[in-house]
Structure 1
């Protein structure tokens, strides 16, 4: 029988701290803690997926139980404890998947196991993976044991979502934060594996795999296994791009060249070629935005270290960045970002991408038109004061005349000749047609001016504009008086009669009015039904009284007098059965219908 295939992520899983990739800050701390006998009773390993959290937990569990560790704090891998651990038969290490065992009962079972001391070795290690999946009740059941475990028990918790763990758990653990593995470390580790497996692999292909894995070593090993199977043991740059559905960067260089030359036809044809190869529009937008970002990084030597491209492409990126304006790159990145955000909402995806390419094609021309002496001019900018047109207003000629000593205070008058007030002094206008404009209202002549020809301002305005404007004095508010209040009350009752509201009109006739003060009165009615009729007319009645007294402060309250029991109609005092009996006496056929249909009466 042939040997079963083992994926690289399991076959080449690190067996000691020195083989862990990219986490030297954690492995060094753990080795020193083991060597100096300063181990904590609870650890929390948190970080992204596939960076070595569970691997480090297993190495730590194996190392602390090793009977003959190396001087630098590593496991020997030859003693009975290490051999049983590698074979998976060690009784001192217990792994719990909290994603599928997240209830209180599972944690209680774990706590029960902690009571028993190890039969061989120094420590019993409990590794709880995906600990953030535990329920709140399970966390609470775990608190006491995690705070004060036996001297031989060590807990190692692993999670990818640290923020979901209760603060009471975090405060009881020694926390280690794992970081993403860099592309260089990933490429070096992949190179070691392909050398051991005798696989032909180009370094550029390994760099693409490292970029695609985004710092996850497990993903990079899985991708490598797929590509090796796809290419039959020969990993090249081109077949890696084809397998990972990644667009070659040469297409982006060609797109940028077409746009700088404002060759819209060439850019559209190039995108059609890309589309025919099966690349979706969002993948093109995202890749082109990343390409522009890399060019921006190359513009400044200080940030050139942030460039993450395959080996041999750095010089081409730098040359292209030097020949492209900074304003163009920033504006293009902004356009691509907006297009990528709105891509999902677009119905015609291809047209959306083509519209973005058209904008980028004419972007250079737009920047040149907006440039002023080498600097970009912002829209709606005001460089200086704005002139506006104004028209002078002729002032009113006012004159303060002398007043005899007997006058208590000085007054202000318009000194205007008598001829100015005559109608003949106004400019002649076309006489309006009698049918179009009504003649002016005839008002009483204004009072004669005071002696000496001196007139106040109101008299002058009346004399000059009295035939054009209605100048009325403000009326003073009146207080309540019984005579006028009774007249208004009866007038409103008559209005209700015209509106055929006979019940309300009858209530107004029997109501008794009592004035409490200048702005408030009371309406006394004999029953609650009469009170409801008055309440229904409250708003309109108040408005009627305000207009009559020219006083908007007037209000009233309704008082129900204690009187004899209200006369309620007989039919309103009957229940359903009594009503039926009364109807059946008058119409016997109703009782026959009830009996034939076997109906019952609801009370």
Structure 2
């Protein structure tokens, strides 16, 4: 079997022209060699895999080639010394290096010392290196390379000419991968190479390693599907599909799509970050002046331009804000999936026109989708039997005008508890009648399952706990003063001891009513408040009151206190 050489080694730059994405630095170094204006101590700093060591080796070779004729074939290996500071970081290693510096080169004019990962040198080694670095022999040039410039002491930095290598752009990395694919006779999709370049995060060495890995997986045909499957990344289609659902206010479909993403093994944090970036790209695609900021392939760019026409700028701005807020709260959240789902539901409700006035965190009520669900539509179909035509399905005839009139009723489902405008005298006088009318009109076709008093009281207690968790302690105390009684089939009686508690309970009654209706699957429930100021005080607040309560339950407690002469 033929020995395989990874692309990162096989296609390592041998000339400055081969270095990707660092034109400013390579041009500076070439001009410095030509003009004999090269410093004797250089520091190459920047992220991993951007060409620091490669540039150092090319520079070391070019320096001596400039001074000798017919030297293109010479590599001047005897004039180039590489030291890995990660494993040779002691004072003795640096002293051995400084001793070698004094010896002039046998061929060529310069001896070049490349010290990689120089930030790993110890403090004592740095100090031992200072004098040599400041006043080296005329034949010596030092090239230091590091990924962490901040760890190098200032006295070393002040003696070096610093070159900051930047991350390699996505388009530059993609074009270089395209050249390599052509050399290797690999048919690669433009979008596939773009995903590899994005995944590399500015490091050319990482991009080449990923390229080798994907080629091993898919062979000579490099497709976008193969890359996304092998790298386990979410492709554009996932975000395009999700955005279409969000724009169409389809919250159930949005939640199912997000569940499918989680089922593939992706984290909600990764998904919401990708969705925010997708919204940003759509915002960029809205204006022809900013399309150049869209770092995607040609096929994906057409999709962005098409979807950008559907999404308005206010929608995109609010969506980005909510996605970023979810990103900030994700790590601190105890229920991270719920946090992402709430954010998606809020984004899907931005363009919903069923409410005239919506809060910042508005979510379309679930009853809206229940009313529009296929199960509800099937209820309109009945089966009638006649002697002439048995088992024939017939649909009641409904005039088109009636359907149009009933449609606004669906939108009112989300506004059952909305007060009429207080600035309208007519609305103020008819407020109670309007609320009852809306409830009666909208909930006739909704389920009204039977329930017992024990189930009701259990849900009542859970609602009290929910109020405490939300911080609504005042309302929780009022609701928890007594347990409700079931009067008839669907009427709930709740007794309060004073007028103030009655008024406060009525303010929070709509939310409680919605909670019970959803949990009991019964939309015919009504809560009646009964004021009874003769109710005996049930709660003990002072130590004496608490003691009296305990004494009522166990009379021997008082005898115990008297026997041992205990205080309250």
What's the TM-score once normalised by structure 2's chain length? Answer: 0.60
Matched residue, 2:268: 281
Task: Report the Cα offset of residue 196 of structure 1.
Answer: 1.3
Task: Report the Cα offset of residue 67 of structure 1.
Answer: 6.8
For 1:417-432, list aligned pairs within 5 A: none
Matched residue, 1:156: 143
Matched residue, 2:29: 30
User: In the aligned structure 1, how far is the partner of 2:98 from the partner of 2:110?
Assistant: 15
In structure 2, which of residues 317, 323, 334 is the aligned counterpart of residue 336 of structure 1?
323
| Cα shift readout 1:195-251 (whole Å, capped 9, x = no counterpart) | 111112112111111111122110100000000001123211110111111112222
1:370–1:173 distance in 2 versus 1, CA, 3 Å: farther
2:110 pairs with 1:127: no
For 1:265-280, list aligned pairs within 5 A: 265-280=252-267
For 1:199-348, list aligned pairs within 5 A: 199-348=186-335
2:54 pairs with 1:44: no
1:184–1:368 distance in 2 versus 1, CA, 3 Å: farther
In structure 2, which of residues 58, 73, 76 is the aligned counterpart of residue 78 of structure 1?
73
Contact kept? 1:346, 1:352, Cα under 8 Å:
yes
Which secondary structure does the structure 2 equivalent of 1:287 belong to?
Answer: helix
Matched residue, 1:166: 153
What's the TM-score once normalised by structure 1's chain length? Answer: 0.57
1:368–1:113 distance in 2 versus 1, CA, 3 Å: farther
| Cα shift readout 1:35-91 (whole Å, capped 9, x = no counterpart) | 222221111111121111100000011111227779xxxx95413xx2xx5xxxx22
Which secondary structure does the structure 2 equivalent of 1:38 belong to?
Answer: coil
Matched residue, 2:351: 364
For 1:333-412, list aligned pairs within 5 A: 333-365=320-352, 369-370=356-357
Task: Report the Cα offset of residue 302 of structure 1.
Answer: 2.4
User: In the aligned structure 1, how far is the partner of 2:185 from the partner of 2:317?
Assistant: 45
Contact kept? 1:45, 1:157, Cα under 8 Å:
yes
Which secondary structure does the structure 2 equivalent of 1:346 belong to?
Answer: coil
User: In the aligned structure 1, how far is the partner of 2:161 from the partner of 2:78?
Assistant: 24
Select between 216-225 and 181-190 the one with higher mean Cα deviation: 181-190
User: In the aligned structure 2, how far is the partner of 1:355 from the partner of 1:222?
Assistant: 38
| Cα shift readout 1:138-196 (whole Å, capped 9, x = no counterpart) | 22211110010001110001111222222221221111121222222212211111111
Matched residue, 2:185: 198
Select between 212-221 and 311-320 the one with higher mean Cα deviation: 311-320
Task: Report the Cα offset of residue 323 of structure 1.
Answer: 2.4
Contact kept? 2:191, 2:300, Cα under 8 Å:
no
| Cα shift readout 1:260-292 (whole Å, capped 9, x = no counterpart) | 221111111212222222222122111111101
User: In the aligned structure 2, how far is the partner of 1:164 from the partner of 1:41?
Assistant: 21
1:257–1:151 distance in 2 versus 1, CA, 3 Å: same
Contact kept? 1:63, 1:69, Cα under 8 Å:
no
Contact kept? 2:251, 2:345, Cα under 8 Å:
yes
Which secondary structure does the structure 1 equivalent of 2:298 belong to?
Answer: coil
User: In the aligned structure 1, how far is the partner of 2:54 from the partner of 2:40?
Assistant: 18
| Cα shift readout 1:380-416 (whole Å, capped 9, x = no counterpart) | xxxxxxxxxxxxxxxxxxxxxxxxxxxxxxxxxxxxx
Matched residue, 1:562: none
Matched residue, 1:13: 12
Select between 343-352 and 266-275 the one with higher mean Cα deviation: 343-352
Larger radius of gyration: 1
2:181 pairs with 1:186: no
Matched residue, 2:563: none
User: In the aligned structure 1, how far is the partner of 2:101 from the partner of 2:352?
Assistant: 73
User: In the aligned structure 2, how far is the partner of 1:39 from the partner of 1:357?
Assistant: 57
User: In the aligned structure 2, how far is the partner of 1:135 from the partner of 1:311?
Assistant: 50
Task: Report the Cα offset of residue 367 of structure 1.
Answer: 11
Which secondary structure does the structure 1 equivalent of 2:78 belong to?
Answer: coil
User: In the aligned structure 1, how far is the partner of 2:127 from the partner of 2:71?
Assistant: 38
1:76–1:314 distance in 2 versus 1, CA, 3 Å: farther
2:134 pairs with 1:139: no
Task: Report the Cα offset of residue 15 of structure 1.
Answer: 0.8
1:368–1:183 distance in 2 versus 1, CA, 3 Å: farther
For 1:499-538, list aligned pairs within 5 A: none
User: In the aligned structure 2, how far is the partner of 1:230 from the partner of 1:254?
Assistant: 27
User: In the aligned structure 1, how far is the partner of 2:310 from the partner of 2:68?
Assistant: 59
Matched residue, 1:59: 58
Contact kept? 1:131, 1:158, Cα under 8 Å:
yes
Task: Report the Cα offset of residue 366 of structure 1.
Answer: 8.5
Contact kept? 1:328, 1:367, Cα under 8 Å:
no
Contact kept? 1:129, 1:159, Cα under 8 Å:
yes
Contact kept? 2:67, 2:108, Cα under 8 Å:
no
Contact kept? 1:54, 1:158, Cα under 8 Å:
yes
Contact kept? 2:236, 2:300, Cα under 8 Å:
no
Contact kept? 2:45, 2:52, Cα under 8 Å:
yes
Contact kept? 1:21, 1:181, Cα under 8 Å:
yes
Which secondary structure does the structure 2 equivalent of 1:279 belong to?
Answer: coil
User: In the aligned structure 2, how far is the partner of 1:303 from the partner of 1:311?
Assistant: 15
Aligned length: 359
Contact kept? 1:126, 1:155, Cα under 8 Å:
yes
Task: Report the Cα offset of residue 11 of structure 1.
Answer: 0.7
User: In the aligned structure 2, how far is the partner of 1:209 from the partner of 1:231?
Assistant: 14
For 1:540-555, list aligned pairs within 5 A: none
User: In the aligned structure 2, how far is the partner of 1:179 from the partner of 1:275?
Assistant: 35
Q: Any stretches of 5+ residues in structure 2 without a counterpart?
A: 360-568
Task: Report the Cα offset of residue 341 of structure 1.
Answer: 2.5
